[in-house]
Amino acid sequence: MSNVKVLVVDDEDSIRRFLRVALTSQSYALFESTSGQEALSCVAEHKPDLIILDLGLPDIDGVEVTRLLREWTKIPIIILSVRGSESDKIAALDAGADDYLTKPFSAGELLARLRAALRRAAQIPGEPVFAIGSLKVDLLRRLVTIEDHEVQLTPNEYELLRLFVINAGKVLTHRHLLREVWGTEYGDEFHMLHVNISNLRRKIERDSSRPQFIITEPGVGYRLRIS
């Protein structure tokens, strides 16, 4: 089996060098682009399995690159961005990006996100039972247990948890969760979402101020921790 191909798009030479070392050490085949335009043609030519895309590119905005790619390919996209540009991250995620990392980030974090995104993209039919630590979610029987004790969830709480489980490790934006669970007209009812997440955490987390399962992505959304 040939190596997994990863395209790195960043105009900073030092960041590309760091990613080159981190990725080739894991025997990924690497392609590099320094601009959005170059990235678009590289994707068409080499058909990589995953793209690591910086939002601040010299020519086309990373959000726009994501939008253009999503017109014809489902290839997983991981966004690199800086703190303080939450709206850009949300825009990129809404445009179809799979995940994001805030600079500076560690190699371990990057590789974990990369593996998770590749796993999701492979669409290996998921097990009907998802388990992480003491939490077990049986999607077939709609049964949630903590240390083998059944947890009673409301339909919306269960629906939220189900979304997290089938997108395990992926960041889900506030708006995305609201639309999926309550419907498109509820896209701005952030408070309703936060209250439900808070209730869900109280039922499944041991200490809801140090959540182990549902992690807050500041200003962006939530994700289910998988490691």
Partner 1 sequence: MPNSGRSLKKGEKRPPAKNFAWRYYLLGCLLVALATLLGYFSGGLLAPTNILMIYLLCVTVSAIVGGFGPAILVSILSVLAFDFFFVRPFHTLNVQDIQYIFTLIVLLLVGIALSYFTSTLRRQRETSKRHEQEMAALYALGQDLAIASDLQSYTRSIINRIKGTIGQDVVIFLPDARNDTVLKAYSDSPEIDVDVNLFNTAMSSFQHKEIIECDSHAIKGAKALCLPLVTTRRAVGVIVLIKPEDAGDYTDEQERLLSAYSDLAAVAIESIQLADELHNAEILKATEKLQTALLNAISHDLRTPLVSIIGVLSSLQEEAMDLDDSAKRSLIQVAREEADRLNHLITNLLDESRLESGALRLSLQPAEVNDLVGAALEQLGSRVDNRTIKTDIPGHLPFIRVDFGLFVQALVNIVDNALKYSPPDSLIEIKGRCVQQEVQIEIVDRGTGIPEQDLPHIFDKFYRIKRPDNVSGTGLGLSITKGLIEAHGGRIGAKSQAGRGTVVSIILPVSADSMASERFNE
Binding site for partner 1 (CB under 8 A): 83-84, 86-87, 104, 154, 156, 174, 190-192, 194-199, 201-202, 207-211, 215-216, 218-219
Taking the least distance from each CB to partner 1, the nearer of 187 and 211 is 211
Cα separation, 227 vs 10, whole angstroms? 27
Query: Smallest gap, in angstroms, from Cβ of residue 135 to partner 1?
Result: 17
Cα separation, 117 vs 170, whole angstroms? 7
Q: What is the DSSP string of 106-117?
A: -HHHHHHHHHHH
Query: Smallest gap, in angstroms, from Cβ of residue 174 to partner 1?
Result: 8
Cα separation, 114 vs 116, whole angstroms? 5
Query: Smallest gap, in angstroms, from Cβ of residue 52 to partner 1?
Result: 20
Residue 188, SS3 per DSSP: coil
Taking the least distance from each CB to partner 1, the nearer of 125 and 183 is 183
Q: What is the DSSP string of 205-219?
A: -SSTTS-SSEEEETT
> What Å distances lie between residue 126 and 79, 132, 148, CA to CA?
25, 14, 21
Taking the least distance from each CB to partner 1, the nearer of 31 and 158 is 158
Query: Smallest gap, in angstroms, from Cβ of residue 206 to partner 1?
Result: 12
Query: Smallest gap, in angstroms, from Cβ of residue 45 to partner 1?
Result: 37
Query: Smallest gap, in angstroms, from Cβ of residue 175 to partner 1?
Result: 12
Residue 20, SS3 per DSSP: helix
Beta partners for residue 145, in sequence order? 136, 150
Taking the least distance from each CB to partner 1, the nearer of 116 and 153 is 153
Cα separation, 182 vs 179, whole angstroms? 6
Identity at 183, one-letter amino acid code: G
Would you say 189 and 178 are in contact if contact means Cβ atoms under 8 Å apart? yes
Taking the least distance from each CB to partner 1, the nearer of 19 and 90 is 90
Taking the least distance from each CB to partner 1, the nearer of 118 and 226 is 226
